[in-house]
Structure 1
Amino acid sequence: MSQDTLKLQPEVEAEASLSLEARFKSLEAQVLQLQSALNQARPLFQNSPGASFLLNRQGRVLDVNMRGADLLRSTREVLTGRSLLPLLAPGSQGTLTALLARVAEGRGQQAGEIQLQRPDGGVLELAVELAAHEGSGESVLLHLTLTDVTAFKLAHRALWSTQQAQELELQEMIVRLRQLYEEFENVVLVSGREMKSLITRAENFMVLSQRHPETPGHLDHVEEALQQTRNLLESLKDYMQIRFLRTRLRSVSLAQVLHEVLKDVHDQISDREVWITNDALPTLNGDSQVLKIIMREYLSNALKFTRTRPQIRIHVVVQEDATEYRIGMEDNGIGFSMRQKKKAFELFGRLHSSSLYEGTGLGLAVVRRLCERFGGRAWGEGKVNQGATFWFAWPKTPEQQ
């Protein structure tokens, strides 16, 4: 070894000694800094508003705050070092184990629900949030937050039970209403047949009575009343059949519907000067039977109340917007006062005396009900002695009710 080398060795050793001392002081400073951070973090952890636990990847409690200990009705001293898994209901142990494994594998924050079995036999429903605290692999520390959702779960079950009971009750009510409808329909039809039989007997008696020379003249009024009663029964029968009419949606040409209705009323206009015109009629998404009933009722209504006019003019008006078509039957008849517009569409609603204009007051009520079944509406506009227009609005996208 050279003399120069011997001179350098003490200097190298001195330099190494200073380097180790500096490193030691640096590590000591880091430890103190970590200890200070831990001292600051521990009160935050202990006093946090949520039930918090510090676990290892096997689910053993390394630390727990006051809220967590209270939730489990235990103490920090008792829980530290124990596994949480035996405290859980059997079905929840696998859930927590799976959540711990996912977080430990670096799959991010996990959430779920577990049940905790208390020593007093009670069960807590808990929402779980689990995230990695620090470290990795076998040394990873996991931060667990538990939220008691027992009251929410009980309320949810109670609400679900109530909803199920209400749905069952609703179904029973629907069945009962259907039975009542069928019973009502049957009663009306049977009663109608019986009343028609009685009316027929009364009419036969009237025919025999009129052959007798001493028959009182006022029996003519009785005969008229019997005929009105027969007409009313026929109208009620038609109304009941329409109420339970089976319908289906399809494309319906309103021009074709009007053509068929005009053929139906041909006898009413054959000996009268009648001009019937129309705007371009659309194709509707609807039921052909329903639209035919509506158009026939409106046209018959117009023909009835134009009877006193020497020349009858009826025009079918069409209006349209983004959501619906509005179809109006405009006439030059006797009209009506707008103060009575609601009455026209009521059951047995009449705008004019039955002694002057026949009818039972059911036709427009049928129209209103049919329109409402498809989300539409019906109404009338008029002026006394200046004609009337009866409208119905039909949605472009109807929904059967």
Structure 2
Amino acid sequence: MTHQPPSQPTDTPSSAQARLQTLEAQVQHLQAAVVQAKALFHGAPQAALLVSAQGRVIDVNARGAALLASGPQGLTGRPLLPLIAAASRPTFTALLGRALGDRGAQTGEIQVRLPDGQVLDLAVEAVSQQREGKPATCHLTLTDVTAFKAAHRTLLDVNQTQTQQLQDQRYRILRLEEEFESVMFLSARELTSTVTRAENFLTLVKPGTEDAAPLDHAAKAMQQTQALLDSLKGYMRARNLRARMRSVDLGKVLREVLKEVQPQMAGRDVQVTAVPLPTVYGDSQVLQLILHEYVGNALKFTRTRERARLHILVQSTDTEYRIGVEDNGVGFNLRHKDKAFELFGRLHPPGSYEGTGLGLAVVRRLCERFGGRAWGEGRVDQGATFWFAWPKAAE
């Protein structure tokens, strides 16, 4: 008995025709997709090229051809590298390599040189296109950033020019300040010498003079002139003081100041009280100058009081300490509070109280130099309080 092999199924004409129709439909669909993709590529609003792994142009859209000043036929099949400026070629080669290495979209900037010699700055985005059985290609999107780069370079040039001008101006100002300070010091020295000689002359002439009143007035004027010169020299020293920043105990500074003003307190009934003073970060010499000026002023303007009372106040905020010196002296009109801190500013007639009007100006300048401030409060015949604010993080 023999075995017959099983019979193979055979396609009927109708089933084969159905499969053929399906394949034809798929091919038509693919062809339509290719046509649509090409239409999108060629009609894209941005310049685009399709290049091979070797950088040869496979296709270019209308925007790309126009940007590179060439027709599509003039670019297709040509290597792109000769169009790229020599300095940008390594950048472009590396960009293409990263994109084809399946590292996602890559961006960079290159320069291209057109046939007419014009150089364009282009921003490039490269995306790899991998198809099975096909060589790898890369889609390039080009954006002309020439105008932007030119504007950026112009801004950099302007900024550099302005920076240089500011440096030159600062140098000139520093030279003028040095010259001004030199003239001030030399003038003060010469004037001091002249005033000293005049005072010595008046001292020699006065004993043999019957009417010494005019000479007394002259001697007093000389003394005032000498005091003014001393104040000017002190002001200039304060301008040029070199700060040594450290922690400073204001309580200790106040004790030193009270020792210094003992001659002003001699023979007077003076009561000085103070709340606990903080430790601040600053220059001890500067802080001593400020407190000395405030305490000295308070003693001067309480001279007419039977009992002088001075009280040192402290207020603290998140950013600063406010130190005040309160007195029960003659006070001042609050409308003129800023005048006291001006150069040669006075709150009282010159003949009423001694002084040159420079001390508080020095205080304000020193405070502002370290990021602080200075001001005063008062009422006529009801005393005054002079404050200075010192930052907790001094400059």
Shift of 1:236: 0.2
- Give 2:50's aligned residue: 54
1:350-395 CA distance string (max 9 Å, x none): 0012211000000000010111011111000001111000001111
- Give 1:184's aligned residue: 180
Residues 348/137 of structure 1: CA separation in 2 closer, same or farther (3 Å cut): farther
The alignment partner of 2:208 has SS state of coil
1:249-277 CA distance string (max 9 Å, x none): 21111111111111111121132111111
- Give 1:206's aligned residue: 202
The alignment partner of 2:213 has SS state of coil
Q: Distance in 2 between matches of 1:176 and 1:350?
A: 33
- Give 2:222's aligned residue: 226
Pairing 1:88–2:88 present? no
- Give 1:75's aligned residue: 71
Whether the 8 Å contact between 1:126 and 1:148 is mirrored in structure 2 is yes
Match of 1:172 among 168, 173, 178: 168
Residues 4/325 of structure 1: CA separation in 2 closer, same or farther (3 Å cut): same
Q: Distance in 1 between matches of 2:153 and 2:103?
A: 32
Q: Distance in 1 between matches of 2:14 and 2:198?
A: 134
Q: Greater shift after overlay, 330-339 or 157-166? A: 157-166
Pairing 1:305–2:293 present? no
- Give 1:126's aligned residue: 122
Shift of 1:163: 2.1
The alignment partner of 1:13 has SS state of coil
- Give 2:153's aligned residue: 157
Match of 2:311 among 312, 315, 322: 315
Superposition pairs of residues 1-400 of structure 1, within 5 angstroms:
5=5, 8-9=7-8, 12-14=9-11, 22-135=18-131, 139-215=135-211, 217-399=213-395
Q: Distance in 1 between matches of 2:150 and 2:23?
A: 54
Shift of 1:214: 3.4
Task: Letter of the 1:282 partner, please give it.
Answer: P
Unaligned runs of 5+ in 2: none
1:2-53 CA distance string (max 9 Å, x none): 79658x34xx2336x7776555433322221122223323332222221111
Residues 315/145 of structure 1: CA separation in 2 closer, same or farther (3 Å cut): same
Q: What fraction of aligned residue pairs are identical, expressed as a percent?
A: 57
Task: Letter of the 1:29 partner, please give it.
Answer: A
Whether the 8 Å contact between 1:104 and 1:137 is mirrored in structure 2 is no
Q: Distance in 1 between matches of 2:167 and 2:390?
A: 31
The alignment partner of 1:248 has SS state of coil
1:302-339 CA distance string (max 9 Å, x none): 00000011111111100011111111000011100101
Task: Letter of the 2:49 partner, please give it.
Answer: F
Q: Distance in 2 between matches of 1:112 and 1:243?
A: 54
1:64-94 CA distance string (max 9 Å, x none): 1111111101111211121211111112222
Whether the 8 Å contact between 1:52 and 1:146 is mirrored in structure 2 is yes
The alignment partner of 1:14 has SS state of coil
Q: Distance in 2 between matches of 1:252 and 1:22?
A: 100
What is the alpha-carbon root mean square deviation over aligned residues? Answer: 2.0
Task: Letter of the 2:272 partner, please give it.
Answer: I
Q: Distance in 2 between matches of 1:349 and 1:280?
A: 32
Q: Distance in 2 between matches of 1:244 and 1:163?
A: 32
The alignment partner of 1:37 has SS state of helix
Q: Distance in 2 between matches of 1:181 and 1:306?
A: 38
Residues 20/229 of structure 1: CA separation in 2 closer, same or farther (3 Å cut): farther
Q: State TM-score, norm by structure 2.
A: 0.94
Q: State TM-score, norm by structure 1.
A: 0.93
Q: Greater shift after overlay, 40-49 or 179-188? A: 40-49
Whether the 8 Å contact between 1:58 and 1:97 is mirrored in structure 2 is no
1:102-129 CA distance string (max 9 Å, x none): 1111111101111101111121111111
Shift of 1:224: 1.4
Shift of 1:138: 6.3
Unaligned runs of 5+ in 1: none
Shift of 1:202: 1.8
Shift of 1:170: 2.4
Kindly tell me the number of residue pairs found equivalent between the two proteins. 395
The alignment partner of 1:73 has SS state of coil
Task: Letter of the 1:395 partner, please give it.
Answer: P
Q: Greater shift after overlay, 214-223 or 151-160? A: 214-223
Q: Distance in 1 between matches of 2:22 and 2:114?
A: 48
Residues 396/137 of structure 1: CA separation in 2 closer, same or farther (3 Å cut): farther
Q: Distance in 2 between matches of 1:367 and 1:48?
A: 71
Q: Distance in 1 between matches of 2:20 and 2:89?
A: 45
